[in-house]
Every structure is written in C-alpha cells, then in structure tokens.
C-alpha cells in the first residue's frame, strides 16, 4: 500500500478477486487497503472469486449475503465499486470515462455476471475511455467487436499462472495456452488491453518467474 500511495496517482483502479472464496477473508486486510489514496479516488469491480462460487453454501441466501458483505467491504474502505456502471473523471478541463463490469468471461467454466451494454447505457463517451473487466478474454470476445469507443481495458485474473519466464525479448507461461492475452500490454487496432499479474496467489503459495505487480499507467495526449 505504501508503494502504491508513493505513486501519487490521480486514480487507483482494481479489477477484482479481492478474496479467494469468502467475504470475511477481507477483514484482516481492511485496515491496510483503506489506506489507499488517490486524488480522484479508488475504483474497483468484481472478479470470478468474489462471488463465492467455489465453496459450498447451505442456502442461496447465504451466498447472496456473502457477496453483499464483500460489496459493502469495498465501500467501507472508501472504494467506488462499479457494478455494470460508469463514472466520469475530470482533470484540468479534460475528462476520461471509467466503465466497470462484473466478471465476464468467454470461457465456459466461468460465468458471465457482467453486462457491458448495461454499464454503458446512456453513456457520454470521453476523449479517453477505460474499462475495468477482470477476465482478459472479455476484451477479444466482446469489447473489440462491439465497443470501439473503449480505448483501454484493464484486466487481471490469470496471475500469469504464478509460473513462467519473463525476459526482455521472451515471455512464456503455461497460462498462454488458455489465455491469448495473459500478462502485459496488447494492442488491436486503436484499442489496448493491459493484464496485471496480480499481487496474491491461488493454490500454490508463491510465484516462480512471474512477480507480483503494481502497474503505473501515464496517459499522454498524442
């Protein structure tokens, strides 16, 4: 959190998977995460692990309550969670648009909770438009095809498989056989996708070759 705040960012963006399974996993981290500060706020959305899909629940109501508690946790920390909605950010007389969708994957094993049409309903696009969408497969599956106004999509999800090789001119991980876009920056026409390698872990409690990542993005008028 200290390293992030030292960037003195205008905006901090988080693309989901705040917990692995249950909302109460957040409790021990709330104090630290609440310290994140940016001039125009912290914005977030949900990832596939945030819905409680990977643990058994006695009732569907308990599962819904778990998700509601996690969403409330975002807000308690001062984060602006975007649930298929958008916001405008203005600085020095210029404006960008932030769009946030719930988890939406093109892979059958992951559900499609989000709705980009709903998130962009009645939208007034800016000169630069950013989408927060946890699963990078969403970019090629829907964003590129149907939403040319979205300039930059930010995603995570893959963790770079927590295993791989990254050299100046070579990048490899087993996850690339499942996800075409799995770490770093990708460009298709005038649209771009950045996939963050994440901070935590799933399963194996460590990383080999794929380091945790804080991404710093600077926007410049061309």
CATH number at residue 74: 3.60.21.10
Question: What are 110's two structure tokens?
Answer: 């992951």
Element (H, E) at 32: helix 30-33
pLDDT value at 66 more than 90: yes
pLDDT band of residue 222 (cuts 50, 70, 90) is confident
| Spatial CA neighbour of 135 closest among 93, 76, 84, 195 | 195
In a domain, 95, yes or no: yes
In a domain, 205, yes or no: no
pLDDT value at 34 more than 80: yes
| Spatial CA neighbour of 7 closest among 217, 165, 172 | 217
Spacing of C-alpha 14 from chain mean position = 5
pLDDT digits (tens, 9 = 90+) for 149-181: 999 999 999 999 999 999 989 999 999 999 999
In a domain, 214, yes or no: no
Distance CA 111, CA 127 (A): 32
Q: CA Rg, the chain, in Å? A: 17
Q: Which domain holds residue 40?
A: 2-195
Q: What is the mean pLDDT of residues 16-39?
A: 97
In a domain, 79, yes or no: yes
In a domain, 209, yes or no: no
Distance CA 66, CA 130 (A): 28
Number of domains making up the chain = 1
In a domain, 56, yes or no: yes
Largest Cα–Cα separation, the chain = 55
pLDDT digits (tens, 9 = 90+) for 103-135: 999 998 898 999 999 999 999 999 999 999 999
In a domain, 210, yes or no: no
> DSSP characters for 124-140?
---SEEEEE-S-THHII
In a domain, 220, yes or no: no
Residue 204 pLDDT: 86
Asked whether the whole model's pTM tops 0.75, one would answer yes
């Amino acid at each position: 959190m200290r390293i992030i705040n030292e960037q003195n960012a205008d905006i901090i963006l988080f693309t989901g998977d705040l917990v692995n399974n249950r909302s109460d996993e957040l409790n021990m981290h709330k104090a630290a995460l609440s310290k994140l500060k940016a001039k125009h706020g912290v914005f977030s959305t949900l990832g596939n692990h945030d819905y409680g899909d990977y643990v058994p629940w006695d009732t569907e109501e308990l599962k819904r309550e778990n998700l509601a508690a996690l969403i409330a946790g975002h807000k308690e920390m001062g984060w602006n969670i975007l649930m298929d909605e958008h916001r405008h950010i203005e600085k020095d007389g210029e404006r960008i648009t932030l769009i946030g969708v719930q988890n939406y994957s093109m892979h059958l094993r992951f559900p499609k909770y989000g709705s980009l049409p709903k998130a962009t309903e009645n939208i007034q696009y800016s000169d630069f438009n950013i989408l927060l969408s946890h699963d990078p497969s969403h970019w090629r599956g829907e964003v590129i095809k149907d939403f040319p106004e979205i300039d930059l999509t930010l995603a995570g999800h893959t963790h770079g498989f927590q295993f791989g090789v990254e050299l100046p001119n070579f990048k490899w991980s087993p996850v690339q056989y499942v996800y075409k876009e799995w770490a770093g920056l990708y460009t298709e026409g005038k649209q771009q996708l950045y996939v963050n390698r994440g901070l935590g872990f799933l399963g194996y409690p460590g990383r080999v070759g794929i380091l945790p990542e804080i991404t710093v993005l600077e926007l410049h008028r061309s």
